[in-house]
Chain A
C-alpha cells in the first residue's frame, strides 16, 4: 500500500516535501495509525502525535486524502491510494504531521471552558432536570482534536481573531448549561465581528468532526442567543 506523506523538518529542510512509502498491511492492521506506526518502525525520523489509538485523546488529527480526521479511527480499507497525509491545514507546522496547537488552545481558554456559578454552593450538588442535562449532549463530547477548526476556511483566513468551531462549540456547551450563571457575559464576549461572526455557516466543521458533533449547529444556537439577549 502506498502512502504519500508530508515531510518537513525545519532544522534540516528548506521547504516541505512529499515522501512516498510502500507498506504491506498485516492482518492486524485495521486503522491508518497502524500503518503509520509500521512506517515509523522503519523510518524513525517520521514524526506524528498519537496516544490512546482509539479516538479519545484527539492527538493524531491530520489531513487524510484532503479531509481532516483521526488516523486511529480511519479504517485502512476505506482509503484511496496513494493515501496523502498532510498536517492539519492552516496550523503552523512544527515538524512533519505535527502542528502547533497553541493558538487553537488559546482560543479554547478564552471562552472560559468551565462552569461559572457565583451563587452560594448548595448543600450537595447543583441539580439539573433530565432535559437540562440533555441540552449538553452533542457538546461535551468534543476531544479538542482540532479537525473542525483546521478544516474551516474562516479559521484559515483569521486564525488569530476568529475563535473557530471547536472553541465556539465549547463556549456554547457552557452557554447551554443551566448551572452556569454567566451566559450574558459569555454572549457579550462573542458579539464580535471576528470571534463569532467570521463563521459563514460553511459546515466544513461538522463534515469532518470525528465524534459526529455539529459545531455549526452550536454556532447557530449562539447567534440566536446573542440576538435574543440583545432584544
Chain B
C-alpha cells in the first residue's frame, strides 16, 4: 500500500477549499449584518443545529486541508525519513488534538442547551 495518495488528497484539498470559501462568505455576511451581537446571541447562533453542523464541517475542512498542505510541504523539503516521520507525526497529533478540542466545545454547547 502506498503511504500517500495521489488523486484523492488532491480532490479533498479542493473540496475542502471550496467548502471553506462558501462557509467564510456566508459566515462573514451573517456576522456583518448581525446588529447588537453579544455573548448570548453568538452562543445561541452557533448552537443552532444548522450552524453547528456547518461549523463542524468547516473545522473538519480546515484540519483536512491543513494536513494535506503540511504533507505537501514535508514531501517537498524534508527528505530524511525519520525527520519526515517526526514532523508528520507531530503535525497529525496537533491537528487531531485541535479537532478533539473543537468537538468537545461544540458538544458541551449542546449538552448545556438541552
Contacts and interface: CB of A to CB of B under 8 A. Distances in A.
Interface string B73-92: 00111000000000000000
A166 interface: no
A195 B75 CA distance: 12
B7 A198 contact: no
Contacts of B7: 191, 197, 223, 226-227, 230
Interface residues of A, number: 17
Nearest to A229: B7
A193 B76 contact: no
A230 B8 CA distance: 10
Contact of B75 (A158, A191, A223, A230): A158
A186 to B, nearest CB: 14
B21 to A, nearest CB: 18
Contacts of A223: 7, 10
B6 A157 contact: no
A193 B6 contact: yes
A154 interface: yes
Interface of B, helix, strand, loop or mixed by DSSP: helix
Interface string A100-130: 0000000000000000000000000000000
A154 B73 CA distance: 11
A72 interface: no
Nearest to A190: B6
A158 B10 contact: no
A211 B76 CA distance: 28
Nearest to B11: A227
B27 interface: no
A193 B2 contact: yes
Nearest to A160: B79
B6 A192 contact: yes
Given A197-B10, A226-B7, A227-B11, A192 B2 contact: yes
B11 A157 contact: no
B36 interface: no
B6 A196 contact: yes
B93 to A, nearest CB: 21
B4 A154 contact: no
26 contacts: A154-B76, A157-B76, A157-B77, A158-B75, A158-B76, A190-B6, A191-B7, A192-B2, A192-B6, A193-B2, A193-B4, A193-B5, A193-B6, A193-B9, A193-B75, A194-B75, A195-B6, A197-B6, A197-B9, A197-B10, A198-B75, A200-B72, A223-B10, A226-B6, A226-B7, A227-B11
Given A158-B76, A191-B6, A197-B7, 8 more contacts: A192-B6, A196-B6, A197-B6, A198-B75, A223-B7, A226-B6, A227-B11, A230-B7
Interface of B: 2, 4-7, 9-11, 72, 75-77
